[in-house]
Amino acid sequence: PPGGWENVMAYDSDNVFAQILRGEIPCDRVYEDDHVLAFNDIHPQAPTHVLAVPKEAYTSMEDFTQNASDATISALFRAVGQIARDLGLAETGYRILANTGDDGGQEVPHLHIHIFGGRLLGPMLSKGA
Ligand code: 5GP
């Protein structure tokens, strides 16, 4: 590929969400189906702050949208909507976010969709980041 293979991020099976998916470390689960696990963020930035992850191993949105099946992709986004409804966010509103790569500030290299809600969330991006 352009830039060489060293730029292709291999999946790190030791990342914290892989450990959660294997049951090696606990999580505060809010939703689970065949394709998706969702749990409360350990450092919540809103009254509701949930992370929804695919059970399959994808490093990021970049990996997921190139390599996941249509069924897996639709399952994740259906689950995100269902979680928001289950948590009572559908009427008050909410925000989803997928930090991707270096400029996105992604810290955990397993794709995760943040779901924020429970208060007015303010500007889309922090000022002066
Ligand atoms: P990122 O910056 O990669 O988009 O977000 C990573 C998120 O994972 C952060 O919001 C962080 O608080 C959360 N996080 C990191 N480690 C753990 C953990 O062990 N358990 C849970 N539930 N969340 C975690």
Write the pLDDT tens digit of every residue in 29-55.
999 999 999 999 999 999 999 999 999
User: Helical H runs in the chain?
Assistant: 16-21, 61-67, 70-86, 89-92, 101-104
- Is the Cβ atom of 15 under 6 angstroms away from ligand 1? no
In the three-class reduction of DSSP (H, G, I as helix; E, B as strand; rest coil), residue 123 is classed as coil
For residues 107-125, give the mean pLDDT: 96
DSSP 36-68: EEEEE-SS-SSSEEEEEEESS--SSHHHHHHHS
Query: If you take atom 12 of ligand 1, which residue's CA is the nearest one?
Result: 43
- State in Å: Cα 2 to ligand 1 middle: 31
- State in Å: Cα 13 to ligand 1 middle: 16
Active site residue 112: yes
Residue 75 has pLDDT above 90, yes or no: yes
Strand partners, 40: 50
